[in-house]
């Protein structure tokens, strides 16, 4: 069962009310949410974001994009904060980490999203129409314009990631090494894209396993 199915499945809310669904995904999630103290509104926001993917195609403003990102990613940070038993002081950083990671995915996967008929990256202040779709042909015809657009999006990502890093101090060391490594790899992805913004139309930018392992070891030893 996927999350979009769960959105319309009455067994989820029945399970929240105390009637087991008989589905291990639903029942295990409800049990975890109660044990760790998830706010039910977080799950509702997540399900609403997944439902939006069935119909919404364009996000014109940053506020509009962030409304989606709250449900699709920031609440995941909040779930993880509860699972790791972090203090409430970590909640803002947890949200920013989810936001930053989701946003770099939007940048990296822009061509893939276009094929699905979606664009999550905001276009306010760019002069582009709300229903504008990026294309390789347009980017190659105006590489400076495409680079400026991508760098503006990366600036958003970096501001949010900087807020996320402030919360690393709340995370237990072993978990912190893994989370920091993931963040480092997203930073690496951003640098690769900034160096050549056209690359997002040519391939999916992903770090090699060796790079991930080396960074993980360093973060475990010194992070």
Per-residue model confidence (pLDDT) at position 126:
94
* DSSP labels, the chain: --HHHHHH-HHHHHHHTT---S-HHHHHHHHHHHHHT--HHHHHHHHHHHHHTTT--B--SHHHHHHHHIIIIIHHHHHHHHHTT--GGGHHHHHHHHHHHHHHHHHHTHHHHHHTT-B-S--TTTT--TT----HHHHHHSHHHHHHHHHHHHHHHHHHHHHHHTTGGGS-HHHHHHHHHHHHHHHHHHHHHHH-GGGGGT------HHHHHHHHHHHHHH-
Query: 48 and 6 in contact (C-beta within 8 Å)?
Result: no
- What pLDDT digit, counting tens, does each position of 162-196 carry? 999 999 999 999 899 999 999 999 999 999 999 99
- What pLDDT digit, counting tens, does each position of 115-128 carry? 999 999 999 999 99
Using pLDDT thresholds of 50, 70 and 90, give the confidence band for residue 148: very high
Q: Mean pLDDT of all residues in the chain?
A: 93
Per-residue model confidence (pLDDT) at position 21:
83
Hey, what domains does the chain have and what are their CATH numbers?
A: 37-222 (1.10.600.10)
Per-residue model confidence (pLDDT) at position 1:
41
Per-residue model confidence (pLDDT) at position 6:
53
**Tokens representing residue 27 in the block:** 């029942």
Residue 10 has pLDDT above 90, yes or no: no
Using pLDDT thresholds of 50, 70 and 90, give the confidence band for residue 203: very high
Q: What percent of the chain clears pLDDT 90, i.e. is strictly above it?
A: 84
- What pLDDT digit, counting tens, does each position of 11-56 carry? 888 888 888 888 888 889 999 999 999 999 999 999 899 989 989 9
Residue 223 has pLDDT above 80, yes or no: no
Per-residue model confidence (pLDDT) at position 7:
53
- What pLDDT digit, counting tens, does each position of 64-79 carry? 999 999 999 999 999 9
Residue 3 has pLDDT above 60, yes or no: no
């Amino acid at each position: 069962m996927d999350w979009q199915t769960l959105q319309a499945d009455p067994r989820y809310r029945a399970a929240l009310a105390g009637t087991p669904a008989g589905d291990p995904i639903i029942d295990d999630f409800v049990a975890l949410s109660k044990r760790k103290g998830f706010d039910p509104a977080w799950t509702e926001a997540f399900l609403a974001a997944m439902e939006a993917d069935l119909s919404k195609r364009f996000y014109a403003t940053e506020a509009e994009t962030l409304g989606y990102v709250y449900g699709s990613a920031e609440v995941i940070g909040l779930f993880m904060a509860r699972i790791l038993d972090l203090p409430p002081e970590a909640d803002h950083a947890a949200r920013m980490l989810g936001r930053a990671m989701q946003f770099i995915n939007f940048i990296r996967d822009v061509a893939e999203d276009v094929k699905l008929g979606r664009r999550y990256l905001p276009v306010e202040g760019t002069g582009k129409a709300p229903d504008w779709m990026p294309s390789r042909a347009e980017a190659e015809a105006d590489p400076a314009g495409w680079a400026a657009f991508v760098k503006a999006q990366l600036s958003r990502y970096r501001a949010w990631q900087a807020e996320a890093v402030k919360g690393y101090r709340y995370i237990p060391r072993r978990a912190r090494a893994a989370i920091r490594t993931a963040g480092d790899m997203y930073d690496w992805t951003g640098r690769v894209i900034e160096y050549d913004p056209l690359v997002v139309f040519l391939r999916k930018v992903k770090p090699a396993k060796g790079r991930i392992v080396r960074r993980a070891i360093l973060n475990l030893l010194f992070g």
